[in-house]
Structure 1
Amino acid sequence: MDFELTEEQKEIKRAVREFTEKEFKPEIAREYDLKEEFPWEIYRKCAKLGFIAPHFEEEYGGQGLSFFDYLLIIEELCRADSTLGTAMITGPFGGELIHMFGSEEQKKKYLPPITRGEWVSSAAFTEPNHGSDITFLETTAKPEGDHYIINGTKTLITNAPIASFIVVLCQVKPEAGVKGQSLFVVDRDVEGLDITKIEHKMGIKASPIGEISFNSVRVPKNALVGCEFMGFYHSMEFFDVTRVGVAAQALGMAQGAYEKALKYAKERMQFGRRLSDFQVIQHKLVDMATALESARLLVYKAAWYIDKGRIIPELSCMAKNLATSTAVKVVNDALQIFGGYGYISDYDIERYYRDVRITEIYEGTTEIQKNIAARFLLGK
C-alpha cells in the first residue's frame, strides 16, 4: 500500500494548477456566476490541454488516464475555483454514458467533440414527479418500425440549454418497471425537442440547467445506448462511478475554501493579534484539515477499486456522503473564519458556500446514498 502519488500524478496536478492560476481569475469567475453563463473560452482552453474527459481512450481524443488520475484533475480544478471548476468537469456528463455503454459507432461520433472542447453533453434522468426515484418513469419511448418515439419531460438537467446531445432514460415497457427502461442518445437538433433554461440557481451558476420536453421525438433504433431494457441498471452503474467524481469535486471545493481561510487567518488582525494566534481558530483549522484528509482517503480508495475493475456501490455512496458532508462543513467553517467579509461577494468564500451545497443533492441525495449503502450492507 503506497500513499504517495507517482511523479506523473504530481505533474498532472502541477499542470492543472498552472492552468488554473492563469485562467481562473476571481473576477472572471464572479462575472460568469453573475451572468449565469457557461465559460466556453476557458472550457476550450482546458480541453486543449487534455483536461476534459482525460480518461477517455486516445482513439476518442482522451489521454487514456486512469479514473484516479481524472479525480486528481477534478479536485484540482475545483480547488482553484468552485464555479469554473464545476463547469469544466460537467461538460462530458452525458458522454460518460456513451463511453461506458455506447456502441463503437456512438463513441466515434460523440466522444471526440467532447474531448476537443467543441461539445458539452447532458444526461436526463430527473422528471418533475420523479427526482431521486427513477424506478418508474413518465418519459416513454415507444417502438415504431425502425424508430422509437419519445414523449415526456425531464427537468433540472445539467447542461441542457447548451448540450449538443442528450442521453435520456425512458420507460419502454411500463408494465416491466425497472426492467423495461432503456437509454437513448438524442441529438439537439432533432424535431420535437424543446429545451428551456432554468435560471436563478443558488450556486454553480456557470453550469446551466434546463427542462427538456420530448414531443414525439423520433430517434432511430441505433440511438439505443447499451442493451435494451438495461437502462436502469446501466444508469445505476454509471452513478456508482460518477458519484466518486462528485466526491472529488466536493473535496476540491473544500480544499480551496480551507486554503483561503488559512491564508486569511494568518493575515487578519483582531484585538492586536492575528486570527491564527487564537486557539479557537487554530482548533477550527485543524478540524477542517483532519476532516479533509479523512474524506480524501475514502474517495481515493473508491477510485482505486474502480480502476481495478471493481465498482462497489456502497463504497461509492459512502465516499460521496462523507466527502460532500465534510465539504459543506469545511466551507461553512471557512466562511465563519472570514466573519462578515465572508458573507459578501467580494470574498469568494461566499460563492464557494453557494456552490458546494449542490454536492449533497445531485447524483443522489445524501439520504438516497444512505439507503443504497444500507441495502448492500444488510444484504437486501
Structure 2
Amino acid sequence: MTYNDVLARELKADVKVLIRDYLKSHEDEQQFPRELLYQFIEQFDIFSLLLDSQDSVLRTEFLTFIRLISKDFPAFSAVLLTQACYGIYPILRYGSQEQKSRYVEPLVRGEILAGLGFSEGKLMDSLEVIATTARKTETGWSLTGKKSIVSNCRYTDILLILAKVQEANGEDGYGFFIVDTTRPGVAFGDDIAKPGLQGLPVNSVTFDQVILPEDSLLGLTLNGETQLNDIIKKLQLGLSAISIGISEGAFETGLAFVKVKRRFGKPLIDATVYQHQFADLYTKLCAAESYFASYKDRMKADSLFVSQIKLYTTKVAIEISEEIIRLIGPLQTLDDIPIDRYLKDAKTIEIYGKSGDSIRKRIAAQWIKE
C-alpha cells in the first residue's frame, strides 16, 4: 500500500465511527461539516502533521487521513485538504515570520478557516490573464477584482488571493494577498452547483477596492507564480489520495454486495464472470496505488508528473465507480449502496485543482511543434 499501513490500521475504526455517526445525524449532505472538522482536530490534531517541514503537506500520515476519510466521506477530505493546502501550507512555506506567528497556529487549531482564489474563469496558460489587481497606496494596498471559484469560501476567515501588481519599473508582478473576509468590499456570490462533493461549498468572491495593510502580501514579496505552482502541486497530490480513497470505497462497497447470498442461494462472486470483473477492477486499483506511490521520487523536480498522477487516479476512480454501478446497479433494489455518490465525487475531483483537460493540454504540449 502507498500509505502507512500500521497507522491506517490504527485509525481505520476511529475514523469510520466518527464519520458514520456524523452522517447519521446530518441528513443534509450540503451542510458544511464544521462540527466534524472540530472533532477531527480535537481527537487527532490532524493539521499538526503539517508543521514538521516545508514539504509537510506530503507527509504520509496526513495523506493516510485524507485517503481513509475519502472511503466514506470524500467531501470532508476535500474540506480538510483545502484548509491544509490553501491555508496552512502557503503561509507556513512562504509567509513572513510575522505572518506565520499570526496565522499558522489558529489555522492548525481550526480557530480560523482559510481559502485561496486564483481562478477567474479563464484557462490559465499564464498569469497574464489575471485581471484582479492590487494597487499600492500610502498605507498598504487596494484590491479589486473577482475570483470565480473559491472552496470553503463563505465559511472562511481569511482568503489568499492572487493579484496583479504594477511594479516600479512598469512591469507586472504577481503575488498572493492575505484578505480578512470581514473587510468592507469583500462580497461572496451564491453557492456554485456541482455534481458531487456536497458539503464542500464553492463560491465566487468579489473585491471592490478592499483596503489591505502593507504586510498583507504573502512573504512580503511578489512571488506569485512560484507560489501558485507549488501550492497546486501539493493540492493535486492530496486530490490523488482522495481519488484512491474513492476507488477503494467504491470497490469495497461493490465487493461486499456481491459476496452476500442472494435469493437464489449463492453470492454473485461465485460466478466466474464476477470474479474476473472484480479481479480486473482490483488490478486497476493496484496500478493507481503504485503510480501514486512513485510521487516521492519525482515530486520536487517534476510538477507535471504530479499532475499526471492526479489525472490517472481520478480517471481510475471514475472508471471503477462506473463499472461497479454497471455490475450491481440493476440488482441493488433493496440495498442502500451509495456508489452513485462515489461517481459524482470522483467527477468533481476531476475538475478540482486544475481540470483533467488542462492537465492533458500540458502533457500534449511536449509533442506540439512551434
Q: Which of these residues, 71, 76, 92, is aligned with residue 79 of structure 1? A: 71
**1:153–1:252 distance in 2 versus 1, CA, 3 Å:** same
The equivalent of 1:47 in structure 2 is 41
Distance 1:49 1:263 in 2: 29
- Which residue, 213, 216, 219 being the options, matches 2:209? 216
Q: Distance in 1 between matches of 2:329 and 2:170?
A: 51
Aligned residues: 368
TM-score normalised by L of structure 1: 0.86
* Equivalent residue runs for 1:173-192 within 5 Å: 173=166, 180-192=173-185
Q: Distance in 1 between matches of 2:280 and 2:351?
A: 24
Unaligned runs of 5+ in 1: none
Whole-angstrom distance in 1 between the partners of 2:155 and 2:22: 23
* CA–CA distance in structure 1, aligned partners of residues 215 and 91 of structure 2: 13
CA RMSD of aligned residues (A): 3.2
Go from structure 1 to structure 2 and tell me whether the alpha carbon gap of 1:275 and 1:205 turns closer, same or farther (over 3 Å shift): same
Question: Is the CA contact (8 Å cut-off) linking 1:52 and 1:117 kept in structure 2?
Answer: no
Separation in 2 of the partners of 1:302 and 1:267? 37
Alignment of structure 1 residues 1-380 onto 2, 5 Å: 9-25=4-20, 28=23, 31=26, 34-50=28-44, 52-57=46-51, 67-95=59-87, 96-128=89-121, 130-133=122-125, 135=127, 136-173=129-166, 180-226=173-219, 228-267=221-260, 269=262, 271-303=264-296, 305-306=298-299, 310-340=300-330, 346-375=336-365
Please state whether the residue corresponding to 1:92 is helix, strand or coil: helix
Letter in 1 for 2:11: V
**Partners in 2 of 1:29 and 1:134 — Cα distance?**
45
Q: Where in structure 2 are there 5+ consecutive unaligned residues? A: none
Provide Cα deviations, 1:143-177, integer angstroms capped at 9, x if missing partner.
11231111111122100010111001111139999
Are the equivalent residues in 1 in contact too, given 2:246–2:317 (CA < 8 A)?
Answer: yes
Q: Over residues 191-245 of structure 1, what are the superposed CA-to-partner deviations in whole Å (9 max), with x where a residue is unaligned?
A: 1111134154321111111111101011122111136332122101211222111
Whole-angstrom CA distance in 2 between matches of 1:362 and 1:59: 25
Q: Measured at CA, do residues 4 and 209 of structure 1 come closer, stay the same or move farther in structure 2, by a change above 3 Å?
A: closer
CA distance in 2, matches of 1:216, 1:4: 47
For structure 1, which segment, 358-367 or 172-181, has the greater mean C-alpha deviation from structure 2 after superposition?
A: 172-181
Secondary structure of 2:23's partner? helix
The 8 Å contact of residues 179 and 229 in structure 1, kept in 2 or not, is answered as: no
Distance 2:29 2:72 in 1: 20
The letter of the residue matching 2:71 is R
Is 1:52–1:89's contact at 8 Å kept on the other side of the alignment? no
Q: Letter of the aligned partner of 2:345 in structure 1?
A: D
Q: 1:367 to 1:345 in 2, by over 3 A?
A: farther
**Which letter does structure 2 place at the counterpart of 1:288?**
L
CA spacing shift, 1:47–1:153, aligned 2, 3 Å = same
1:113 Cα offset (Å) = 1.9
Contact 1:100–1:238 (8 Å) recurs in 2: no
Identity %: 21
